[in-house]
Structure 1
Amino acid sequence: MNITDNTVWIQNGSTVAGGNGRGSQLNRLSSPHGITINDNAHVIYIADSGNDRVVKWKYGAKSGEVVVGGNQLNELNFPVDVLLDRKDNSLIICDQGNRRVVRVSLRNPAYQQIIISNIHCYGLAMDNSESLYVCDCEKHEIKQWRKGEIDGIVVAGGNGIGNENDQLNYPTYIFIDEHYSLYISNSNNSHILKWLKGATRGMVIAGRLGQGDYNTQFLHPRKLILDRRGNLYIADSGNHRIMRWLKNQKFGSIVVGGNGNGQQSNQLHDPVGITFDQQGNLYVSDSANHRVQKFNIGVN
């Protein structure tokens, strides 16, 4: 992914999934949240939260295909994140409404496995050792499940709701780097925490306590991605924009959006999920517009 500190994106996005209003038809989405891409298969997987399903949307397609959906034992209830496990060709899904995390085989979607139960989950991440990390926004903590283990351990937060750096306040999405440091969207405190492996408290590295729309603030941050240069990209949901925060900087810059909430091609409305393809194009689940937008990478 050829992204530098100075990379820009075309400000007018194109709709690559949904965009036909809210609905349950296969050419529509309802409050999409987490998204992930399989570049090799030219497919976007979307947690179509309001429709209680995960859909697969091929590049250039006019409608999606249901991978799994509903709220029966083998189905879903308001899924909010989806993670592609390439090693065994499966999706790991945060099935928030059913308080569980499930694994769905892409070879045989009828084969599903409940891997974590009784958790008010939100965001998911997986490290190089195939340990799974899950945001528990009800207990205000991040838990780790090592591969093959049944019981998870608290690796961030777990000290009740609060504003101190050893506490979290409704964590939503997470990213883990190659050094096993966690980056946490501490949503109701409107900042991003970096939590080193084994640490008992985090460090605020983006945003500050208190909500706002300045370039030093967030309003309910959601999905975040760390690039190879150590720069953060954050879906600043309440401010309807995607922000970039360069490493060790005290302020961010708007990547796309930030033009008020709306349906125009240069606007977003409560963006939640973000991801990049191999070329560096940016994809955003534009949740309140019930669509996924693609912003092409510009010429550096």
Structure 2
Amino acid sequence: KAKIIRVVKACEIAIMVVGGAGLVMAWLGMEVEAIAIPLMLAALLAMGVHSTFFGPIKYAILPQHLHDNEVLAGTGLVEAGTYIAILAGTILAGWIPVEVAAGGVVLTALIGYISGRQVPPAPPLQEAQKIDFNVFTSSWRLIRNTTRHRQVFMAIIAISFFWTVGTVLFIQFPPLAKNVLYASKEVASLFLVMFSVGIAIGSMSINALLKGTSVDGVYDADPKKDASAKRYDTVDYDTVLAQNLKVMDASAVALCRDNNIPIVVFSIREQGNLALVLSGGGTQTIVKKDA
């Protein structure tokens, strides 16, 4: 995996040289339609292919270098860094001159390659598999195999919805600010800043799953039907599953258990309770390992 990262980042330098050349030619007014624009489009296409390789590998390498209880936080940091980088590039692109941008993209690619050289080795965990170059059959086989594992499949669906909604919002902010709010580009940038910072904060802080319900925690019986029901301050995953305490879907509880993600159960109907829970207070039950 580390080798793939280095190869991909080396290719990025070449891609940015092509894109930078297109920017310079457009800035100088040289063969804009015949050469400059095709060069920039080619660089854009190549970066899409680049991301296809680099996107999965930057997450897949984490379990080989982090402890089990660090993977979630590590993934959050990578996710946050990704969005902050996208945000920074989007904002800077509207402020820096074209000639500076041409050199900046190449410099950024060089920094990325140097950083990639520092990634520790991550050898394959199993024997190499034969690659099926038929996009349709390989994609169908991947989807079919994924649906056999409900936890993995639901996680993929959730991630897909996240990226779909995020992409739509990210694209809509500039025209919303310009055409609906009649605001300046600074307002559009503010939307992007708030959106990206929110995702970054959420990505870094998702070390626990918050579960808002109609009751203030997990009980050993239904408190609406049994007045003597006892509320747990903490309870372990296995107890929740064994006693069918109905915190949430059993497969979701098992997924949290396998990834050591605490579940904080609290009442969403009490005004201000969410803020209290986020600050470490309020009435709640924490489902965790070895409670």
User: Considering the TM-score relative to the shorter chain, is it more than 0.5?
Assistant: no
- TM-score of Structure 1 vs Structure 2, range by shorter chain: under 0.3
Bigger Rg, structure 1 or 2: 2
Q: Normalised by the size of structure 1, how large is the TM-score? A: 0.20
Higher helix share: 2
